Chains A and B, each alone.
Chain A
């Protein structure tokens, strides 16, 4: 089955840039979505279709997808960005949905 691997944690100082990777075999062939989840809350979509932002999501959130790695980038990190982040794809070969292992972003 298709697997998505993320680093368990990323730490970043306020105002700096956080980059969260999502590794998967030839992930560039899949469309990647990213979700933010704060404690006790449901996940919220922050980037879809590799690099697009839903309405209401700040421009500080951006995405890319190339080779075997997709990346969520958070620019000018704020304290409110502290959360768990998950990547997700629809695996075309199996017709199943897959979530990444999740990354906890800590703002120092």
Chain B
């Protein structure tokens, strides 16, 4: 059974760096040839894809945010970390991590519960 869970601060100040962790079970990123993505959703707004990391450590970023984002996986293969620099109040959102299957066009078939991040001084 695949599960994912996001963790991190609920409140960050403007200009600070946000670090979120996605801990998952039911698969191992290096061995399963799958990918893990981060997706966010501001209150009352649409989903927005942020970043994705493949089993082989290849990475993709939303071009509109790429200069501020970094996605990494830990050596255990069971955690993925997203960092976003220079946070602004417009970055306030629920941040989700999600599992994507082994093909580039595969859907995000498992999602974490999401973690709400508020950016405010």
B63 A1 Cβ-Cβ under 8 A = yes
B46 A99 Cβ-Cβ under 8 A = yes
Q: Is the interface of B mostly helix, strand, loop or mixed?
A: loop
The digit string for B27-42, where 1 denotes a CB below 8 A from any CB of A, is 0000000000101000
- How far does the alpha carbon of A32 sit from the alpha carbon of B15 in the complex, in Å? 36
Least CB distance, A58 to chain B, in whole angstroms? 17
Q: Interface size of B by Cβ–Cβ distance < 8 Å?
A: 22
Closest to B101 in A: A48
Instruction: Please tell me which stretch of B16-24, B72-80, B81-89, B108-116 contacts chain A, meaning at least 4 of its Cβ atoms lie within 8 angstroms of it.
Output: B108-116
The digit string for A67-105, where 1 denotes a CB below 8 A from any CB of B, is 000000000000000000010111010111111111000
Scan residues 17-46 of chain A and give those whose CB is less than 8 A from a CB of chain B: 30-31, 33, 35, 37, 42-45
- How far does the alpha carbon of A95 sit from the alpha carbon of B22 in the complex, in Å? 22
Could you list 26 A-B pairs, sorted by A, with CB under 8 Å?
A30-B105, A33-B107, A35-B47, A35-B108, A37-B47, A42-B96, A42-B111, A42-B113, A43-B96, A45-B109, A48-B106, A48-B107, A49-B105, A49-B107, A54-B109, A86-B47, A88-B47, A92-B104, A92-B105, A94-B63, A96-B62, A96-B63, A97-B37, A99-B47, A99-B48, A102-B46
